[in-house]
Amino acid sequence: MPRGLPPPLALAYHGVDDVPLRRDPDHLFVRPQDLRRQIEKLREWGYELVTFGDLAADVRPGRAALTFDDGLVDNLTALVPILQELGAPATVFVVSGWLGQAHPAAPWTRIVSDGELRELRQAGVEIGGHSATHADLSALAHEDALDEVLRGKQELEELLGEAVEVAAYPYGRTSPDAIRAVRDAGFRAACSTSARGSWDDPFFLPRQDMDNRGGLLGLRLKRDDRYESLMRLAPARAARRVGRHVAAALK
């Protein structure tokens, strides 16, 4: 790795909103102010921010991608203004069968509508596939996984009038059959979550999960791919649980 450049990095977010932890047990939301701080810190570390598609096409030190799963409406109303303010690109992986519907894990909000999806793309956000129904592809045989991801890809392409070339595995879970299905569907790259994958495999690229109320120390550990291994240690898990309970009680 060239001296002074941080390692390649892809961050996995969902929504952009100030949601109390007690209302967000899955930690799907990041506060706008936290996202701004994280973008500023990435640049301070020397990162060039690129779309996931650009990162996948040229994986090298000093490049980072901001990605957002599912296609929540706040990606248009809250994320896009931040991206425009800071001059940052991003990629949103959209569940085609959820368009216009309430999010299953956050029913007070919803996924973008057909028209909002087009607005998101027109704002310069790269759109990727996240399957048709958010099925766990790792639990499906190849043909069923292929039907799920190909349908999602085609539905998005019909709405956008352009190719959708990158994908994210729902729940971050994958398998050899799922990876082959994504490749057979015509995607050129795909990513997981929780640091699973390899920068040498374009169909199993790693992303680091970004949680509600996550701090800059956590971001630093994720940058260096140390976060997941540390969290597997029992004391770290206990400390994280305590921290979450304290934060929730203070809200």
pLDDT confidence of residue 224:
95
Mean pLDDT of the chain: 93
For 208, what's the count of Cα atoms within 13 Å in the CB-facing half-sphere? 23
Answer yes or no: is 151 within a domain. yes
Q: What would the mean pLDDT of 98-114 be, rounded to a whole number?
A: 98
The per-residue pLDDT for range 219-251, each reduced to its tens digit, is 999 999 999 888 877 555 555 554 554 444 334
Structural domains of the chain, count: 1
Answer yes or no: is 201 within a domain. yes
Answer yes or no: is 45 within a domain. yes
Question: Is residue 203 a contact partner of residue 189, using CB atoms and an 8 Å limit?
Answer: yes
pLDDT confidence of residue 236:
56
Q: What is the value of pTM for the model shown?
A: 0.91
Domain carrying residue 101: 9-225
β-strand partners of 243: none
Three-class SS of the chain: CCCCCCCCEEEEECEECCCCHHHCCCCCEECHHHHHHHHHHHHHCCCEEECHHHHHHCCCCCEEEEEEEECECHHHHHHHHHHHHHCCCCEEEECHHHCCCEECCEEEEEECCHHHHHHHHHCCCEEEECCCCCCCHHHCCHHHHHHHHHHHHHHHHHHHCCCCCEEECHHHCCCHHHHHHHHHCCCCEEECCCCCCCCCCCCCECCEECCCCCCHHHHHHHHCCCHHHHHCCHHHHHHHHHHHHHHHHHC
Answer yes or no: is 114 within a domain. yes
Whichever domain contains 210, its CATH number is: 3.20.20.370
Answer yes or no: is 4 within a domain. no
Answer yes or no: is 236 within a domain. no
Answer yes or no: is 108 within a domain. yes
Q: What would the mean pLDDT of 21-46 be, rounded to a whole number?
A: 97
Answer yes or no: is 185 within a domain. yes
